[in-house]
């Protein structure tokens, strides 16, 4: 089944297929590493993760390139304020970014490209633009893109840019449509700023040229898909198109995917509103990384996501249902045979799940048949109508679900442990939820020892002590489950 995906450029839902043969070539704008990522950033990275995992599920391998912007106005300003070289400044935020991606189980792109490692490619592209009459140098030594040389400017964002002033310039990397002007490709060195000595003068690249140069370096002049947050559509992606197509005269990316903004409690997220959250903020409040992942991917990418704590709790409960059910199947033993109705339900659920994802990555619709199947299977187990072949069929559906959603297998302890450790090291001890602190204070070995002590106490008919241990653990978020195969525990 092919993936049908909305294409910002055509304005319609188009089939996405690799045109130059496999793998599918895709570029997604990465982070500017000047601070910790917030959940709005991570929604975009997670939806791109859903895209690449869905393509893989459908049998389409990808060659996915992501940039790291490790030099820009904000980085230079913040590094100067901290009195350290920009590389020292960006290194720790880059490390934090990848740690956060790991916490959220976002797969790594095949290629990660750092801007500062590709300066010669950017310079070469600016030279080609100059040769084509699309770039010019100003008196201070900076280079600008000549907007008037690219009449198609605005074709992606469909903005009416007719009021543009010819020859007026903007040297900021981010600006509104009203100030669409000739934009900076190369910024001449200013005293004290990081700069490179190159054939087009001493300076540093503008933000937009980075993505054009690195996308074409790894994917060629024309490639299958370009993705990013909707806030990048203008001016960043328009500028990427203008810079690239002015030189190649070929379509830069054939398909454009934009992930919509996230709201928090119905309002735009902002530090001054007090509704601004990094991933780490949420982990420290005691929410699991898997729940954050599920909450951020369950609303399809083309819809605005209204992030709420109720939504996080809903995601937490959904994961609990998935994991409890999965454990019920894997730990249970079922008689030989098959329940014909359940076998059908499993096939239908799998087909509906794949169809929903193939239909413009409709994650909300993709979830529904999985939970329907769990309900039907639980009923069958309760009625003794569940057999070994049903277990095999349904576990296969769950495995397929987890190839994209990736929340059933429990990897939650490590992100939480890391976040708590980070908080202790960065003076944010007070932000760690008390129950989390208590929970973290118990190592796996300590819990095993308590569970063993409880088993012994029960054997010795010391039920008071056994109950006491169970309650103590429960207070710290550890749940004990007695089954015929022995005692299991898990962190809630």
Least separation in angstroms between residue 42's CB and Zn ion is 17
Instruction: Give, in order, the Cα–Cα distances in Å from 365 to each of 185, 262, 315.
Output: 43, 19, 15
Residues 6+ apart with CB under 8 A from 296: 39, 42, 43, 46, 47, 104, 262, 305, 307
Cα–Cα distance measured from residue 433 to residue 416, given in angstroms and rounded to the nearest whole number:
11
Rounded CA-CA distance 44/108 in Å is 14
Q: Which is nearer to Zn ion, 113 or 211 (CB)?
A: 211
328 in helix, strand or coil? Answer: helix
Residue with Cβ nearer Zn ion (32 or 103): 32
DSSP 58-96: TT--EEEEEEEB--SHHHHHHHHHHTS-HHHHHHHHHHH
CB of 2 to Zn ion, least distance (A): 26
- Using DSSP, how many helices (H) and how many strands (E) does the chain show? 16, 18
Cα gap 409→26, rounded to integer Å: 28
| Nearer CB in complex with Zn ion: 71/264 | 71
CA distance 139 to 458: 85
How near is the Cβ of 133 to Zn ion at its closest, in Å?
Answer: 24
Please give the backbone phi and psi of residue 280, each rounded to the nearest 5 degrees, phi first. -65, -35
Residues at the interface with Zn ion (CB under 5 A): 29, 211
Distance separating the N- and C-terminal Cα atoms of the chain:
38
Smallest distance, Å, CB 109 to Zn ion? 13
Name the strand (E) or helix (H) holding 189: none
User: CA-to-CA distance for 262 and 43, rounded, in angstroms?
Assistant: 8
Q: Give whichever of 68 and 404 is closer to Zn ion, judged by the CB atom.
A: 68
**Between 55 and 211, CB nearer to Zn ion:** 211
- Residue 260 or residue 280: which is nearer to Zn ion going by CB? 260
* Residue 68 Cβ vs Zn ion, minimum distance, rounded to whole Å: 11
Question: Residue 72 or residue 390: which is nearer to Zn ion going by CB?
Answer: 72
**Least Å from the CB of residue 236 to Zn ion:** 5
Task: State in angstroms the smallest separation of the CB of 412 from Zn ion.
Answer: 32
Residue with Cβ nearer Zn ion (75 or 377): 75
> At closest approach, how far in Å is the CB of 211 from Zn ion?
3
Contact 295, 311 (CB under 8 A): yes
- Residue closer to Zn ion by CB (options 188, 209) is 209
CB 343 to Zn ion: min, Å: 47
Two tokens at 489? 């525990």
């Amino acid at each position: 089944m092919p993936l049908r995906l909305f294409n910002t450029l055509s304005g319609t839902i188009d089939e996405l297929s690799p045109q130059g043969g496999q793998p599918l070539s895709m570029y997604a704008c990465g982070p500017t590493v000047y601070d910790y990522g917030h959940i709005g950033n991570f929604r975009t990275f997670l939806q791109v993760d859903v895209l690449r995992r869905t393509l893989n599920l459908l049998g389409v391998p990808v060659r996915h390139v992501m940039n790291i912007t490790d030099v820009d106005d904000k980085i230079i300003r913040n590094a100067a304020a901290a009195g350290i070289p920009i590389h020292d400044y960006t290194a720790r935020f880059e490390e934090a970014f990848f740690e956060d991606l790991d916490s959220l189980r976002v797969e790594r792109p095949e290629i990660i490209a750092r801007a500062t490692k590709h300066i010669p490619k950017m310079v070469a592209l600016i030279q080609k633009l100059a040769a084509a009459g699309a770039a010019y140098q100003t008196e201070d030594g900076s280079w600008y893109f000549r907007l008037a040389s690219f009449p198609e400017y605005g074709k992606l964002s469909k903005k009416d840019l007719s009021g543009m002033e010819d020859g007026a310039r903007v040297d900021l990397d981010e600006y509104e449509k009203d100030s669409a002007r000739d934009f900076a490709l190369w910024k001449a060195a200013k005293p004290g700023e990081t700069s490179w000595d190159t054939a087009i003068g001493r300076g540093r690249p503008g933000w937009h040229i980075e993505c054009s140069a690195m996308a074409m370096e790894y994917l060629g002049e024309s490639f299958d898909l370009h993705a990013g947050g909707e806030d990048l559509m203008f001016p960043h992606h328009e500028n990427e198109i203008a810079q690239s197509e002015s030189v190649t005269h070929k379509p830069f990316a054939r398909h454009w995917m934009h992930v919509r903004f996230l709201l928090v409690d119905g309002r735009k997220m902002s530090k001054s509103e007090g509704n601004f959250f990094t991933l780490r903020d949420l982990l420290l409040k005691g929410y699991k990384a898997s729940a954050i992942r599920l909450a951020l991917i369950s609303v399809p990418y083309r819809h605005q996501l209204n992030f709420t704590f109720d939504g996080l709790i809903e995601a937490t409960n959904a994961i609990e249902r998935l994991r409890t059910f999965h454990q019920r199947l894997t730990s249970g033993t079922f008689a030989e045979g098959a329940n014909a109705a359940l076998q059908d339900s499993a096939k239908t659920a799998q087909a509906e799940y794949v169809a929903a994802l193939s239909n413009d990555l409709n994650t909300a619709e993709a979830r529904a048949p999985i939970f329907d199947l769990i309900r039907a299977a639980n009923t069958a187990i309760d009625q003794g109508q569940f057999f070994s072949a049903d277990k095999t069929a349904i576990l296969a559906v769950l495995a397929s679900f987890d190839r994209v959603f990736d929340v059933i297998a429990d990897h939650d302890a490590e992100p939480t442990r890391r976040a708590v450790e980070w908080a202790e090291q960065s003076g944010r001890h007070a932000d760690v939820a008390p129950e989390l602190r208590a929970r973290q204070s118990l190592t796996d070995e300590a819990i095993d020892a308590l569970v063993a002590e409880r088993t012994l106490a029960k054997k010795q008919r010391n039920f008071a002590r056994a109950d006491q241990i169970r309650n103590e653990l429960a207070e710290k978020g550890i749940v004990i489950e007695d089954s015929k195969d022995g005692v299991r525990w898990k962190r809630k």
